[in-house]
Chain A
Amino acid sequence: MANINVNGKTVTVEADGATPLLWVLREYLDLTGAKYGCGIAACGACTVHVNGEAVRSCALPLEAVAATDKIVTIEGLSPDGSHPVQKAWLDLDVPQCGYCQTGMIMAAAALLAKNPKPSDADIDAEISNICRCGTYQRVRAGIHQAAGRKA
């Protein structure tokens, strides 16, 4: 059992401490926006924010999360899909199947929070999420479009 802070609310979770945060979110809190893709932090489909950092939740056990850590999932990124990254994604028709995109958006939002005007090289260095539909060109354009707009 653990207390964690997700999207601004503290909740009590009856999960084993070894359970990855991803599965706590998905199976105990019904927050299914973060996706299972690989389970080894290789693809980024499970990306959430922990204290503002993009974190791959599939490889973060519950017991490593402190009650004071502020976890934000895609469901909590904005109340109504109005985060600049979400708006740019909508404007540019970025997603194809969309399965990786919640993680991609969380990774992009974390990058922009730290680096409001990332260069292409910054994007290359910071965004390593896998998209098998191959939306990378529009992801890049979406990050540039969202850059500098207030979250």
Chain B
Amino acid sequence: MTTSMNVSRRTFMAAAGAAGLILGFRVPLSSGGGAALAGAGQTDEITAWVVVRPDETVVIRIARSEMGQGTLTGLAQLVAEELDCDWARVTTEYPTPGTNLARGKIWKSFATGGSRGIRGSHDYVREGGAAARQMLVTAAANAWGVSPGDCTTAKGVITHGATGRTTTYGKVALAAAKLPVPETVALKDPKDWTIAGQPLKRLDTADKLTGKQIYGTDLKLPGMVNAAIRQYPLFGAKLKSFDASKVMAMPGVKKVVAVGDDAVAVIADKWWQAKTAIDALPIEWDEGPHAKVDSADIAAMVAEGLDAKEAFVANEVGDAEAAIAGSVKQVQATYSYPFQHHATMEPMNATALWTADRCEVWCPTQNGESALDATAEAAGLPADKCDVYKTLLGGGFGRRGAGPVHDYVRQAVLIAKQMPGTPVKLLWTREEDMTHGAYHPVTQCRMTAGLDDKGEITGLRVRISGQSILAGIMPGRLKAGMDPVTFQCLAPKGDHAISYGFPALKVDHAMRNPHLRPGFWRGVNANQNVIYLESFMDELAHVAGQDPLAFRLKYMQDHPKSRAVLQAVADKAGWGTPAPKGVFRGLAHCTAFASYVAACAEVSVTPDGEVKIHRIVAATDPGHAVNPQQIAAQVEGSFVYGLSAMLMGECTVKDGRVEQQNFDTYEVMRIKDMPKVEAEVLPSGGFWGGVGEPTIAVAAPAVLNAIFAATGKRIRDFPLKNAGLRMA
């Protein structure tokens, strides 16, 4: 496997002349501006997705970004499956967004978020593989003067059954590349898959074990200089002035530059020199309108929305308010969920090379096209004079996703613009990263239900109050002012439909937007919405005196796939049978990112509040499972992400500023906190669900419900550490 580092041909030439200054990564000549730009028929490119080399190497093009989630391997499996190539010969490369633009968006979307990497592209990437197979077969059949229909393929070998003649993909690749790409191709029935659907090893592991893998932070271009940045101390603040003279004499310092109107950077030979100088740089800020805002102000602003008259209604069945009012019993609970930071292990960074007629950027991004837009805008050049070379991401989780969260790219270009012709690498410190996030939105939720004399739910009322991601970073996607993303796992239908049917239901959102920039944070609004819903369902079961599993299942008659995953975790965990002494169980489930997921957690709590999560059994029905062992890896990892937030994650605000600056105060789970995760992958076929995010949402409520079972204590405000509980 060659992990491609897409340095453009022009830059490569410069680098090649500079005697090995680019260390540790391989520069493919055929990618980026090379074969990918030339297109089919001009090279060994068969289709946009498949290149076959004479040495039988198969290069599969991957448009979506790899950030650890395994999409690169999964997409390659899908293409290779249809291509019938030898998996051992498969390598991958990223086409650049600039090439995509030049070729009429032949690779379609580069967006890698919303657990859509595979479910959003499985059809056309498989068609790309199937079309390439057909062309290779046709090329061989033409050479033999036989009908393509009489030829078969396996592992990159084409066989004409009647005569027993064989040839290989590599031998006919150049001829195949000159054939027209068929417009329609048949795809395999997933039950016939031999590469897709298998628990294959990832393609991108080896270099990650030796230090050879190059991330954005590791990039080194000939003549490159380094930049450290100091950004606005709080959202809304602007740069007033800085005194460059105080640092210009420091070692390595080349230049001190304003970056837009809200940041300043030091450019130096080495990044550590730049960082040392920026720490010493006197800077004055105009703090803007939010300098008196504290967490308590934000909490009060959001709490006010719980009772507000005006709200966006997203899901309404019957008259929930009347049904609840007329019930024998009313139950109400209010929950809250704090800001979270993505905390990717690799801080934000980008490297830019700007000249008056071209700008190139190397960066980790979940969306190459958004990165290209940011590059072009900051460069003051049309997009076709720019390009972006994606590096492997040291974590994404939404921070490097679509839209204006490419601030680090914009800044790198603005800095490079002040050093024309010199590549500049911008790297944020962890402190800059943590205080300039795109935070998981802050919300509160009031749940109200009515129960009849048998303990049956008569109606459920869900009022969410708080921050809208779309309003904060993509206002153009609001629907008549409403943010549909707010209602994940509570929606009437779709990828995030509520997996219950109630006699009456009303879900609405009072939008309250504090000044912190929100963002898509792995799992997005499913995370807290499922905590709200599944905690409250548990509360209702207990008020009704019913078993939490049986109680839930009654309202899931019309949700057979959800029932199946919930029942699966209950069975596997031994729900209804005694747990080990001192251990208690809790359940949760949801439909998220078009997959059906459930979890059963086993937890113990000591009298003085030490929580131990022993085991979580999880089930995922993603429809088609492209790589079951990587799905399991996603489930395991998603629990760390979701539980870190629930147990200890919280960004608080003082004087308008995010208080947490590093991992000493923004704590996350470590290996000692890791429960044993048993991930059941239960593909029922017929649809394509995401797997990177859905299970985050069920980890926390399953644990919370187990904590209630253990202690009788219902925790409704997060993180848990504020409720006097801590990890053992």
Q: Which of B69, B347, B393, B674 contacts A137 (CB 8 A)?
A: B674
Q: Is the CB of A89 within 8 A of B209?
A: yes
Q: Is the CB of A33 within 8 A of B211?
A: yes
Q: Which of B206, B226, B633, B668 contacts A130 (CB 8 A)?
A: B668
Q: Is the CB of A97 within 8 A of B68?
A: yes
* B251 CB within 8 Å of chain A: yes
* Contact partners of B315 in chain A: CB under 8 A: none
* B426 CB within 8 Å of chain A: no
B253 to chain A, nearest CB (A): 13
* A135 CB within 8 Å of chain B: yes
Q: Is the CB of B69 within 8 A of A96?
A: yes
Interface residues on A, range: 35 or more
B261 to chain A, nearest CB (A): 27
B73 to chain A, nearest CB (A): 9
* A43 CB within 8 Å of chain B: yes
**Could you give, for residues 7-43 of chain A, a 1 whenever the CB lies within 8 Å of some chain B CB and a 0 otherwise?**
0000000011011100100111011111111111011
* Contact partners of A130 in chain B: CB under 8 A: 345, 663, 668, 670
Q: Is the CB of B663 within 8 A of A100?
A: no
Of A99, A100, A102, A123, the most chain B CB neighbours within 10 A belong to A99
Q: Which of B345-360 contact A (CB under 8 A)?
A: 345-347
**Contacts A130-B663, A135-B633; A105 near B209 (Cβ below 8 A):** yes
Q: Is the CB of B671 within 8 A of A93?
A: no
* B662 CB within 8 Å of chain A: yes
* Contact partners of B271 in chain A: CB under 8 A: 23, 27
Q: Is the CB of B672 within 8 A of A124?
A: yes
* B394 CB within 8 Å of chain A: yes
Q: Which of A16, A75, A99, A129 contacts B395 (CB 8 A)?
A: A99
Q: Is the CB of B209 within 8 A of A42?
A: no
The answer for the CA separation of A94 and B640 in the assembled complex, in Å, is: 15
Q: Which of A30, A34, A42, A136 contacts B674 (CB 8 A)?
A: A136
* B122 CB within 8 Å of chain A: no
Q: Which of B604-648 contact A (CB under 8 A)?
A: 629-630, 633, 636-641
How many pairs, one residue from A and one from B, have CB atoms within 8 Å of each other in the complex? 183
**Contacts A37-B430, A97-B395; A42 near B664 (Cβ below 8 A):** yes
* A81 CB within 8 Å of chain B: yes
* Contact partners of A36 in chain B: CB under 8 A: 217, 347, 427
* A150 CB within 8 Å of chain B: no
**Contacts A23-B270, A27-B270; A81 near B206 (Cβ below 8 A):** yes
Query: What is the chain A residue whose CB lies nearest that of B641?
Result: A134
**Contacts A38-B430, A136-B640; A97 near B394 (Cβ below 8 A):** yes
Q: Do most interface residues of chain B lie in helix, strand or loop, or is the interface mixed?
A: loop
The answer for the CA separation of A137 and B397 in the assembled complex, in Å, is: 19
* Contact partners of A18 in chain B: CB under 8 A: 276
* Contact partners of B397 in chain A: CB under 8 A: 132
Query: What is the chain B residue whose CB lies nearest that of A123?
Result: B671
Q: Is the CB of A42 within 8 A of B215?
A: no
The answer for the CA separation of A73 and B393 in the assembled complex, in Å, is: 22
* Contact partners of B208 in chain A: CB under 8 A: 95, 98, 101-102
Q: Is the CB of A93 within 8 A of B395?
A: no
The answer for the CA separation of A133 and B346 in the assembled complex, in Å, is: 11
* Contact partners of A134 in chain B: CB under 8 A: 636-641, 669, 674
Query: What is the chain A residue whose CB lies nearest that of B204?
Result: A98
Q: Is the CB of B210 within 8 A of A30?
A: no
Q: Which of B178-211 contact A (CB under 8 A)?
A: 201-202, 204-206, 208-211
Q: Is the CB of A31 within 8 A of B211?
A: yes
Q: Is the CB of B671 within 8 A of A96?
A: no
* B214 CB within 8 Å of chain A: yes
A126 to chain B, nearest CB (A): 9
**Contacts A95-B205, A132-B344; A40 near B663 (Cβ below 8 A):** yes
Query: What is the chain A residue whose CB lies nearest that of B642?
Result: A134
Q: Is the CB of B345 within 8 A of A93?
A: no
B270 to chain A, nearest CB (A): 5
The answer for the CA separation of A33 and B207 in the assembled complex, in Å, is: 10
Q: Is the CB of A35 within 8 A of B394?
A: yes
Q: Is the CB of A86 within 8 A of B209?
A: yes
Q: Is the CB of B209 within 8 A of A97?
A: no
* Contact partners of A23 in chain B: CB under 8 A: 270-272
* Contact partners of A132 in chain B: CB under 8 A: 343-345, 395, 397, 640-641, 668
* Contact partners of B202 in chain A: CB under 8 A: 93, 95
Q: Which of A71-126 contact B (CB under 8 A)?
A: 73-75, 77-78, 81, 86, 89-90, 93-102, 105, 123-125
Q: Is the CB of B670 within 8 A of A93?
A: no
B581 to chain A, nearest CB (A): 19
**Contacts A43-B345, A98-B213; A32 near B24 (Cβ below 8 A):** yes
Q: Is the CB of A138 within 8 A of B345?
A: no
The answer for the CA separation of A146 and B186 in the assembled complex, in Å, is: 45
A43 to chain B, nearest CB (A): 5
Q: Which of A20, A74, A89, A123 contacts B211 (CB 8 A)?
A: A74
Q: Is the CB of B201 within 8 A of A93?
A: yes
* A4 CB within 8 Å of chain B: no
* A54 CB within 8 Å of chain B: no
Q: Is the CB of B67 within 8 A of A97?
A: yes
Q: Is the CB of B663 within 8 A of A42?
A: yes
Q: Is the CB of A131 within 8 A of B676?
A: no
**Contacts A27-B272, A95-B208, A134-B639; A140 near B345 (Cβ below 8 A):** no
Q: Is the CB of B636 within 8 A of A137?
A: yes
* B296 CB within 8 Å of chain A: no
Q: Is the CB of B214 within 8 A of A32?
A: yes
Of B211, B270, B429, the most chain A CB neighbours within 10 A belong to B211
* Contact partners of B23 in chain A: CB under 8 A: 30, 32
The answer for the CA separation of A142 and B206 in the assembled complex, in Å, is: 15
* Contact partners of B429 in chain A: CB under 8 A: 39
Q: Which of B260-281 contact A (CB under 8 A)?
A: 270-272, 276
Q: Is the CB of A90 within 8 A of B210?
A: no
The answer for the CA separation of A127 and B129 in the assembled complex, in Å, is: 43
Q: Is the CB of A97 within 8 A of B393?
A: yes
B467 to chain A, nearest CB (A): 22
* B61 CB within 8 Å of chain A: no
Of B202, B270, B345, the most chain A CB neighbours within 10 A belong to B345
* B220 CB within 8 Å of chain A: yes
* B304 CB within 8 Å of chain A: no
* B392 CB within 8 Å of chain A: yes
Q: Is the CB of A138 within 8 A of B636?
A: yes
B445 to chain A, nearest CB (A): 26
A46 to chain B, nearest CB (A): 11
Q: Is the CB of A20 within 8 A of B272?
A: yes
* B677 CB within 8 Å of chain A: yes
* Contact partners of B68 in chain A: CB under 8 A: 95-98, 133
**Contacts A32-B214, A93-B201, A97-B395; A131 near B220 (Cβ below 8 A):** no
Q: Is the CB of A35 within 8 A of B217?
A: yes
A96 to chain B, nearest CB (A): 3
Q: Which 7 A-B pairs have the closest CB atoms?
A: A33-B211, A134-B640, A97-B68, A99-B394, A134-B637, A98-B208, A96-B68
A→B interface (CB under 8 Å): 15-16, 18-20, 23, 26-28, 30-40, 42-43, 45, 73-75, 77-78, 81, 86, 89-90, 93-102, 105, 123-125, 127-140
**11 cross-chain CB contacts under 8 A:** A16-B251, A37-B347, A38-B430, A73-B211, A90-B205, A93-B201, A134-B638, A135-B636, A136-B640, A136-B671, A137-B674
11 more CB-based (< 8 A) A-B contacts, given A32-B211, A32-B220, A130-B670: A26-B218, A27-B271, A94-B205, A97-B392, A97-B395, A98-B68, A99-B215, A100-B345, A125-B672, A136-B669, A136-B671
